[in-house]
Chains A and B, each alone.
Chain A
Amino acid sequence: MWVLLAIAVVVVGFALRINSMLVVTAAGIVAGLIGGLSPVKILNAFGDGFAGSRSVTVFIVTLPVIGLIERYGLQQQARKLIGRLKVVTTGRLLAVYLLIRQGTAALGLTSIGGPAQAVRPLIHPMAAGAAERRYGGKLPDKLQEKIKGFAASADTVGLFFGEDIFVAIGSILLITGFVDATYGLHLEAIDIALWAIPTGICALLIHGVRLILLDRHLDKLAAEADADAEEVAR
């Protein structure tokens, strides 16, 4: 049971906002030592874990081209384009992106979106552009943060609750693989995928509605920011 101390290291470390890399490393070493692993085994685990998970870092190969098109005004162009379309608001735009992200993920096309290749260069500038048109000029910090957070969330929620509807995705293979091997069942991947649909619909409705309501929330934040600015001006 003492091995649960490793979880405590993580929780306390994150709560105190100590550098996450240090927290995670320390927790790993603590877990290994209490769990009775030898120092070499712990080092091996760090090596194997790093080598085996390199795929999550591959997104960085998109950075040079994303940076390049930003240099030549991609974000400005995205803002301009959205600025012309009056019906497009921040919330509606993100809701449409959520729908597209979830729909394509359900077809197995998970790398169509993503924070590096879609949210930073396209989705966020468009969402911010729509807000800039609505509230006039540069956005206060609070609005900018809100829009960034929700832009990231639309991508993540869409991915999570879309990909599980696709048959050949890791999580479904993990379910069937684990359950079949451990309990001797013969689950069909397609059944698991079909039963992901009700939750997928709920996710789309809940987050979609929250995104559409985001516009009102931003209205309120903008009004407060204006009031604050007037206060200062006096």
Chain B
Amino acid sequence: MIKVEWFYWLCGIFFLLIAMQAFNDRTNRKRLGSAAFWGILGLSFCYGTFVVHKQAPSWLLGIAVIGIAALAGAGFPGRGQERTTTPDQRARFADRFGNKLFLPALVIPVVAAIFGAWLAKVKLGNGKPLLETGSATIIGLGVASILALIVGMILFRPNSPAVPLHEGRRLLEHIGWAAILPQMLATLGLLFTASGVGKAVGRVTDHLIPKGSLIAAVALYCIGMAIFTIIMGNAFAAFPVMTAAVGWPLLVQQFHGTPAVVFAVGMLAGFCGTLCTPMAANFNLVPAALLEMKDQYGPIKAQIPTAVPLLACNIAIMYIFAF
């Protein structure tokens, strides 16, 4: 069986190689702190395997994670001089390779789709699935990246196997600590839940519940989902809380709404919130870093004018179809 942990180790080893390159990069004024950042991160990825399997204490990883955050707060990782081609060289390469350049880029979605749609359902001789259950997307992305890299190396024949690593580091250094922010936010969600933040927000919404008005209750559920999601960064965290406070007792029990409609549309109302919040870093801040935007809130600003009318649509859809 192909295990998802293998690919976390691949990420870990990638971060460790980046740490070594950063350590040796004399053009990076923050090379020691940068090497420490990527190094601890790489080790944490590998160590995480033992935490998930309960073979090693989590608090040790917790200390490492807080260390990573402290390094980020101190301005690490920094960037070295880019070791890549100039725009002129690239234009010449583009003339030479032409549309072959698209080939490795297309390998990624094609292979990922094969894994997600087909190999995910394949069973081995002993009845176990070929891919670890629930991880086909991650495994597909990992395998696709490796295959695409092999295709790229064959097509372009760079003069050293370190070239893709240097190029990968160029992109990773542009993203910087934002690469790891989504994981920090997932952790925050866990702590929020464990310490009762969700329940406290639920109690606040309890006080806002209107008596007897269906449209007000629908609006409260949808807007509540969106706002809670903006705060938590994740509609999944908002759903149980808002559903327990409004969705179930009011919309389903009192007003006899159709559960499937109420809950499906309620979740999508939460997604409208995800479009608007820096707390959903992997969807909103990481793309800004990847595209080297000057304004890290650029994608959010492009999305808010869609999210607001869409939230209104959700309220209307629920009001019309659920009751």
Contacts and interface: CB of A to CB of B under 8 A. Distances in A.
Given A46-B61, A65-B149, A151-B291, A36 B305 contact: no
Interface in A32-57: 32, 34-37, 40-57
A206 B190 CA distance: 34
A233 interface: no
Given A10-B279, A45-B191, A47-B62, A73 B97 contact: yes
Contacts of A175: 239, 263-264, 267
Given A69-B152, A108-B117, A61 B7 contact: yes
Interface string A97-122: 00000001001111111011111111
B179 interface: yes
A215 to B, nearest CB: 14
Given A62-B145, A108-B117, A198-B317, A120 B290 contact: yes
B93 interface: yes
A224 interface: no
A69 B97 CA distance: 10
Interface stretch (B27-35, B213-221, B296-304): B296-304
Contacts of B290: 115-116, 119-120
A115 B203 contact: no
B101 interface: yes
Classify the interface of chain A: helix, strand, loop or mixed. helix
A50 B192 CA distance: 15
A196 to B, nearest CB: 5
Interface string B158-195: 10000111111111100001111111111111111011
Interface size class of A (residues with CB under 8 A): 35 or more
A60 B182 contact: no
B255 interface: no
B10 interface: yes
B291 A148 contact: yes
Contacts of B288: 148-149, 152
Contact of B177 (A21, A54, A148): A21
Contacts of A67: 84, 164, 166-171
Contacts of A68: 104, 149, 152-153, 156, 158, 163-164, 167
A150 B305 CA distance: 11
Contacts of B68: 21
A28 B299 contact: no
A64 B278 contact: no
Interface centre among A55, A110, A122 (most CB of B within 10 A): A55
Nearest to B61: A47
Residue among A27, A44, A71, A74 with the highest chain B CB neighbour number at 10 A: A71
A155 B284 CA distance: 11
B212 to A, nearest CB: 22
Contacts of B301: 149
A76 to B, nearest CB: 4
B268 A48 contact: no
Contacts of A104: 113
Contact of B197 (A6, A70, A188, A199): A6
29 contacts: A11-B231, A19-B72, A24-B69, A35-B194, A41-B194, A44-B58, A46-B187, A48-B187, A50-B44, A50-B183, A55-B135, A57-B45, A61-B14, A77-B101, A109-B117, A111-B109, A115-B287, A122-B105, A146-B302, A149-B288, A149-B298, A149-B301, A155-B287, A156-B283, A156-B284, A160-B271, A161-B268, A170-B236, A198-B317
Given A14-B279, A58-B8, A117-B141, 11 more contacts: A28-B191, A37-B195, A46-B65, A47-B58, A50-B48, A50-B183, A54-B45, A80-B94, A121-B105, A148-B288, A206-B309
Interface of A: 1, 3-4, 6-7, 10-11, 14, 19-22, 24-25, 27-28, 31-32, 34-37, 40-78, 80-81, 104, 107-113, 115-122, 124, 141, 145-146, 148-153, 155-157, 160-161, 164, 170-172, 174-175, 178-179, 182-183, 185, 187-188, 191-196, 198-199, 202-203, 206-207, 210
Identify the 7 closest CB pairs spanning chains A and B, nearest first.
A35-B195, A67-B167, A49-B187, A47-B58, A73-B94, A43-B62, A47-B61
